């Protein structure tokens, strides 16, 4: 498991209240950034749905503004920024017990364009 995957597995465990019942895979296309994070959890459907609903970056109070603006608002102190802002944009959580999957979040190309000043 690489560092990127390990980060999201740790986030998953945290959001499942300390559970160790989570594995993670990252879906991306050749030569591109990941498109979404796909988590496989040994949990109930309610827990899987709750995880999907809580995990995406758009759950952060700071979501929707360019990162430079957010960073400046926190006086360039990275650790003051809501950690949920650094979660994946889109997540799929699959319950390994039932096979049901829950998707939340979205890729926001407009916000990325704005953030990079393009």
Please report, for residues 33, 54, 70, 78, the alpha-carbon distance to residue 75 in angstroms, rounded to integers and kept in the order given: 28, 27, 9, 9
Mean pLDDT of 94-109: 91
pTM exceeds 0.95: no
Please give the Cα distance from 91 to 94 (Å, whole number): 10
Q: Of 93 and 21, which is predicted with more confidence?
A: 93
pLDDT in tens, 25-71: 555 444 555 577 888 888 889 988 998 999 898 999 999 998 889 99
């Amino acid at each position: 498991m690489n560092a990127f995957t390990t980060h999201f597995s740790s986030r998953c465990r945290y959001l499942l209240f300390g559970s160790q019942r989570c594995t993670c895979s990252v879906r991306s296309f050749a030569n591109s950034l990941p498109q979404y994070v796909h988590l496989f959890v040994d949990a109930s459907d309610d827990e899987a749905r709750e995880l999907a609903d809580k995990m995406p970056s758009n759950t952060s109070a700071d979501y929707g503004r360019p990162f430079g603006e957010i960073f400046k608002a926190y006086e360039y102190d990275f650790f003051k920024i809501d950690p949920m802002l650094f979660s994946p944009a889109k997540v799929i959580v699959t319950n390994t017990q039932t096979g049901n999957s829950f998707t939340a979040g979205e890729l926001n190309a407009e916000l990325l364009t704005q953030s990079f000043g393009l």
